[in-house]
Structure 1
Amino acid sequence: MAWRFFSFLSKIKSSKTLNPNVNPSSTKSPFSTSFLVTKTPKSLKKKRKPKPSPRTTPVQTQPNRIHELERILHRDALLRFVTRSKLFLSTQPEHVLRLDDAGKLHRELGFPRGRKVSRFIRRHPLLFQTYRHTDGKTWLGFTDLMEDLLAEEHSLMDSMELNRVEKVRKLLMMSARHRIPLSKIHHCRTLFGIPDDFRDRVSKYPNFFNVVIDNDRRRVLELANWDPLLAVSALEREFVVDEDGAKRKFSFPLKHGKGLDLEVDDKKKLDLLNALPLVSPYSDGSKFDAWTLEAEKYRVGVDAYDRNGVLIEKDPQVVFNEKLYKYAQVDEMEPGSDDRVEEQHLS
């Protein structure tokens, strides 16, 4: 009988060595009595990368981007809600709008579709405010500070109206057939400091402008008469004062080998091959073919030669935008906000 007892003990020891992690309590109850969380929390789970969407995927690749221009676009996208809302509310009676209607006008007010407009209003408490009317509806309107800024903007536009008219005349003189659609001028009005109601102010200057209807049923602004005093670019004025300094802006000198043993006059003749001609942006460029070298030089001349003479450094819209940046609290927004990404892709 003793050998049976010792063989039973040996079986128990061998079973414990084969499975040393056996839970003795598991034989008592088939259910677990542990209070520990066995599931992985959502915050610790790996997030799936979203599929690329044409709405958020940039068209340009990263190496081809110009960071200075991208910074300007990013800054304008942050203030798009302020600028568009300012323009739209200015046309409304009493400068107010029902909040329910404002949530449907995402394109006019400049916020992404599907987002709440009240979220963007709270970001600019110094410019916009909401209040409840006697009818029980919530309305959106300007603050007293915003009304003062608008009044200051209108006074600046009125004081510089003749200067803006001169800029538009120069643009028409540089354009093809001396015509530009009014919609294009309205689209680029902030670049030249043109007021929002310029299309209404055109009728006050019949000696300078004519409004005609083209074949596409668009209102086109046409130059009434040619002014030779305005048809002088800023570079041509500089050429009269300092001829050598103006010529140096178009020269692209190359380093010649010492073995050529060139004299000064010979070097100047070789550098003339790489020099751009002085093209007046007010000359007629319709005679050039589209993809020839002469047409390319003419386009460079129109784009760069009179940029300082038409674009303005300190216009009323720039002054107004600087004050908007000051009071819009743009710097306090988070740098990685999703709203910024969506606002950049608004059309």
Structure 2
Amino acid sequence: MLIFSQLHKFHKLVLINRSGGFKASLGYTWVQIMHKTTGGRKPKKKIYHRVHELDRVMELQKKPSLILQLKSIIQSQKKESLLLRDLEKEVGFVQKWNYMAVIEKYPSIFVVIGGKIDKSPPAVMLSEKAKKIADLEAEATVQMEPILVKNLRKLLMLSVDCRVPLETIEMIGNEMGLPSDFKQSIIPKYPQFFSLKDVSGRWYLDLENWDSSLAVTAREERLAREGLLNTSGHPKRAKISKDGNFSGPHAFHLDFPVGFRANVSYLEEVQRWQKMDFPSPYLNARRIEAADPKARKRAVAVLHELLSLTMEKRLTSAQLDAFHSEYRLPARLLLCLIKHHGIFYITNKGAKSTVILKEAYDGSDLTNKCPLLKFRDKFLELMGRRDVSSCIGASSTN
């Protein structure tokens, strides 16, 4: 049960329950933890290599996240202005001061009205320029709907019973780009795809119809775009390079961190793994023997696809663990993620441990953005920063 997490040069320990959940961190190094998990044998010291550009993703999103949250709070008010004295009710006493600092720092976005001059209580509202850009959000929302419907269907298709607890979907709703009222605004509009069912007192979102055309992973779509698959599904070439990448139909894109030096035996093992075929993540996991190495590779593909369904290709460790039962994720989820560090990156720079799909980023920038993220970028240009690009999760300040 004792497995490590906090991934600095010296690592910290995380208590993991039997379902693979991340619980609490203590002050152990990698060597101490591996000593415990290998039956007392002293292993060779290993280092989890940091990727500073991906750590920076979490740093860059802090102020943009506050700005977007405050924008939403202001827009939710009847008069589209918020009395400063009511700010604490909306965000809490501690966070209030962070929001006050944002209001003061960005007059191009937020305007304070009232106060001593006209003796009315001071309130904050969006600037005229910010209002004009905020109006574009409605268009982005319309463009997002077919994307969200498709991704919700794929999310359900990944599960063993084509159903996921509603609370689990709500847990990652912001990361997928779902509106807060998606249960009323989206689900009822598509009865041919979705239904809500009460199962033993727990609400589930069920898939009504299976669509084989959707059972294609983001990994397979990338290989097709790059021409690495021919019509028969075989690789055009079969060559392994020093970076571990392999041009085959069953290969994943690997991006090892700077400083990681793979020896020949490691690369040979990677090559064998890259060549190994495996069942589709959309194939029911009950039909697969868990101990089969192909099943373990399939688990990596499930994690890859789940992250690909989010806007910013990242989820917290707790969010990933919430899918443990429905997706039959590995019991030692953290070790699986760390073993495949060429695919996934774990950062603790934010308030919570976060898993990032490495191939989705160029440095700190998200390479492909949905309409909602493009709108947010445009709004946040009012900050005077044009590098806010990749990391603007409006719900990431928890």
TM bucket (normalised to shorter chain) is: 0.5 to 0.7
Residue 279 of structure 2 corresponds to which residue in structure 1? Answer: 279
- Determine if the alignment matches structure 1 residue 73 to structure 2 residue 128: no
Separation of aligned partners in 2, 1:84 and 1:324: 12
Relative distance call for 1:248 and 1:205 in structure 2 (3 A) is closer
Separation of aligned partners in 2, 1:172 and 1:277: 24
- What is the SS of the residue equivalent to 1:296? helix
The structure with the larger Rg is 1
Is contact 1:193–1:315 with CA below 8 Å preserved after alignment?
Answer: no
Q: Which runs of 5+ in 2 are unaligned?
A: 11-47, 237-246, 255-262, 313-367, 388-394
- What is the SS of the residue equivalent to 2:212? coil
Residue 260 of structure 2 corresponds to which residue in structure 1? Answer: none
Choose which of 361, 366, 374 in structure 2 pairs with 1:319: 374
Residues 109-137 of structure 1 deviation map (CA, whole Å, 9 limit, x = unaligned):
xx944736432211221222221287721
Choose which of 235, 244, 247 in structure 1 pairs with 2:235: 244
- What is the SS of the residue equivalent to 1:122? helix
Relative distance call for 1:145 and 1:345 in structure 2 (3 A) is closer
Matches within 5 A, 1:1-347: 59-62=6-9, 64=48, 65-107=50-92, 112-113=94-95, 115=97, 117-132=99-114, 136-189=120-173, 191-199=175-183, 200-215=185-200, 217=202, 219-233=203-217, 238=224, 239=229, 241=231, 243-245=234-236, 247=248, 250=251, 275-288=275-288, 293-304=293-304, 313-329=368-384, 347=398
Is contact 1:153–1:317 with CA below 8 Å preserved after alignment?
Answer: yes
Relative distance call for 1:291 and 1:106 in structure 2 (3 A) is farther
Is contact 1:172–1:178 with CA below 8 Å preserved after alignment?
Answer: yes
Residues 13-43 of structure 1 deviation map (CA, whole Å, 9 limit, x = unaligned):
xxxxxxxxxxxxxxxxxxxxxxxxxxxxxxx
Relative distance call for 1:74 and 1:163 in structure 2 (3 A) is same
Is contact 2:70–2:99 with CA below 8 Å preserved after alignment?
Answer: no
Separation of aligned partners in 2, 1:255 and 1:61: 26
RMSD: 4.0
Is contact 1:193–1:317 with CA below 8 Å preserved after alignment?
Answer: yes
Identity %: 23
Is contact 1:96–1:141 with CA below 8 Å preserved after alignment?
Answer: yes
Deviation at 1:162, TM superposition (A): 2.1
Amino acid of the residue matched to residue 317 of structure 1? Answer: L
Separation of aligned partners in 2, 1:240 and 1:104: 58
Output the TM-score relative to the length of structure 2: 0.55
More helix by share: 1
Amino acid of the residue matched to residue 170 of structure 1? Answer: K
Q: Which runs of 5+ in 1 are unaligned?
A: 1-57, 257-267, 333-343
Residue 31 of structure 1 corresponds to which residue in structure 2? Answer: none
Relative distance call for 1:98 and 1:215 in structure 2 (3 A) is farther
- What is the SS of the residue equivalent to 1:105? helix
Separation of aligned partners in 2, 1:318 and 1:88: 18
Is contact 2:109–2:129 with CA below 8 Å preserved after alignment?
Answer: yes
Deviation at 1:189, TM superposition (A): 4.3
> Number of matched residues?
263
Residues 148-172 of structure 1 deviation map (CA, whole Å, 9 limit, x = unaligned):
2222111122134223211221121
Output the TM-score relative to the length of structure 1: 0.62
Relative distance call for 1:304 and 1:193 in structure 2 (3 A) is same
Separation of aligned partners in 2, 1:309 and 1:202: 18
